[in-house]
Amino acid sequence: MEMMFDWSAPIVAAASRMLQDLLEYLPQLAGALATLLIGWLVARILRGLTIRLIGGLDRFSDILGWGKFFARGTNKEAIARIIGNILYWVVILFFLTSATNMLGMSMFSSWLDRLVDHLPNVLSGGLIIFAGVIFGNLAHDAAQTAAQNMPPRTRSLLGRGAQIFTLVTMVVIGVDQIGVDITLLITVMAVVTGALLGGLAIAFSLGSRTFVSNLIGARYLSKDYRVGERIRIGQIEGVILEFTNVSMVVETPEGRTTVPAKMFGEEASSLIQRENSDAG
């Protein structure tokens, strides 16, 4: 019995110390678990609020008269879930860092601290890029509204060009905010943007050629002819009813005919005296 007591004494002492250390460590463990639980609840609440807020952006924008925040066909629910989940894990990361500090896990907490220190730049850069998507859509709609008198293809090209330019600019700013060396990125973006703008300029000039020709022709038509006069151009003969910005409306035996103004610069036209003038 004496021999067993000698062997068991160190074991009992070690177990006693372990139990004592565990009891002393329990408050820290409980605090860390409570911190994680609170962080989980806060993250879930913020995620839900974010999803609802983003889902209501279109309605809020309509109330303010800004139009739609998201382009037609955009999956708003998917965007809201992605942003909500990003915010969820960011909050979890903050509380996890606090919990590891409570537990004294210095190596892990040091790594998390560095990650958390860099998060504001990452988040602000991400928000700038997300704002670029929104403002790009607004620029697209604004450009199309401003060019509503132009041909549909030209309006579409102008809107897409404004959207791409706005988005590219915001992406460059956002990436720079994150801390990435954007020297090469800026060079590539400049080349791509230049190519896109050059293509848009060519497409715009080709697409608006007919419109500009009609616009210029209509300006001179209103000086050479008057409403009520009878004219002949090509196979069309009739009485002038009105002038528009790009055409002339003529009453013919077949009915109202719209004659593009540019035709008067391409074909010979004749002014025929009106019947009441002939009678006089």
Instruction: For residue 192, tell me if it sits in a domain.
Output: yes
Contact 240, 225 (CB under 8 A): yes
Same domain, 127 and 100: no
Instruction: For residue 271, tell me if it sits in a domain.
Output: yes
Structure tokens at 170: 């915001």
> Which of 104, 130, 163 represents a domain boundary (last residue)?
104
Same domain, 134 and 178: yes
Q: What is the pTM of this model?
A: 0.46
Instruction: For residue 44, tell me if it sits in a domain.
Output: yes
Instruction: For residue 263, tell me if it sits in a domain.
Output: yes
Same domain, 36 and 100: yes
Contact 31, 98 (CB under 8 A): no
Instruction: For residue 128, tell me if it sits in a domain.
Output: yes
pLDDT tens, N- to C-terminus, the chain (280 residues): 444 445 566 666 666 677 676 666 677 778 888 888 998 999 999 888 888 887 776 666 655 555 555 555 556 677 778 878 888 888 888 888 888 877 777 666 676 667 767 777 877 887 888 888 878 888 888 888 877 767 777 778 788 888 888 888 888 888 887 777 677 767 777 787 777 777 767 766 666 677 777 777 777 777 778 888 888 887 888 888 888 878 888 888 888 888 888 777 777 777 776 544 444 4
Q: Which CATH number covers residue 151? A: 1.10.287
Structure tokens at 79: 């965007």
Same domain, 100 and 126: no
Comparing CA positions, the residue from 207, 203, 126, 128 lying closest to residue 161 is 203
Residue numbers of the domain that contains 38: 20-104
Cβ count within 10 A of residue 46: 15
Same domain, 78 and 127: no
